[in-house]
Amino acid sequence: MSQCWPEGALRAHLDRELAPEEMERLTAHLGECAECARRSAALAARAACVDAWMELLPAPQMQWVPPAPRPAAWPRKWIAVAAALAAGVALAVWLRPKHESPAPAPVIAVTPPIPAPVESPAVIPAPAPVRTAVVPPKVRRPRVPVHKVSNDFLALDDEPIETGVVMRVGLEPGNVQADVIFGPDGRAHAIRLVGTRD
């Protein structure tokens, strides 16, 4: 027994849409395979049922629908009026007076009279005040003392550690092993090197 045929091939066999050599092969297969013969019979029964229902449908009624009337074309006189208006507007824009900017007023140079020299006692001007930049005093932040946490951990900040997770990590270079306490915020709060006790 050969391999079963797909449903699409069985439908094409019922509709006689296969090539002649495939029709012969599928017909021979239906004689040997009970499963394919059963599926083909079910497809044929379904197609016959659909055909019977289609015959019960009323024939479509054809009704003539007149074409929609075409919109009336513009009368030629309106086209001529629109063209005349456009030409008038263009001519008015072209002939409008051009506003020229007034000529600049002439500039007359006036030289002040030179005063006669007057004998005056020599006056030494006072020195100009010197401005100095005011520098605010430098605010020194108190240094956080490095203090040890219990079990030889070295604190990395000044916040107290209430809860945390201890993880062993390898520090470069040399992959030195260290225990680090991470707080609930995910930051490292304390560290201790493994194997180096004071």
Give 47-88 pLDDT, tens digit per residue: 888 888 878 777 777 777 778 777 666 677 778 788 888 888
Residue at which a domain ends, from 34, 56, 78: 56
Which two three-digit tokens encode residue 53?
């229902």
Burial of 190 from C-beta contacts in 10 A (0-12 / 13-18 / 19+)? buried
**Containing structural domain, residue 159:** 148-193
**Domain presence at residue 101:** no
144 pLDDT higher than 50: no
**Domain presence at residue 20:** yes
Q: What is the DSSP letter of 183?
A: -
Residue at which a domain ends, from 40, 56, 72: 56
Q: What is the pLDDT of residue 154?
A: 76
| Structural domains counted in the chain | 2
Condensed to tens digits (0 to 9), the pLDDT of residues 106-127 reads: 666 666 667 666 665 556 666 6
Residue at which a domain ends, from 18, 37, 56: 56
**Domain presence at residue 165:** yes
**Domain presence at residue 97:** no
Using an 8 Å Cβ cutoff, are 190 and 153 in contact?
Answer: yes
Using an 8 Å Cβ cutoff, are 138 and 166 in contact?
Answer: no
**Domain presence at residue 52:** yes
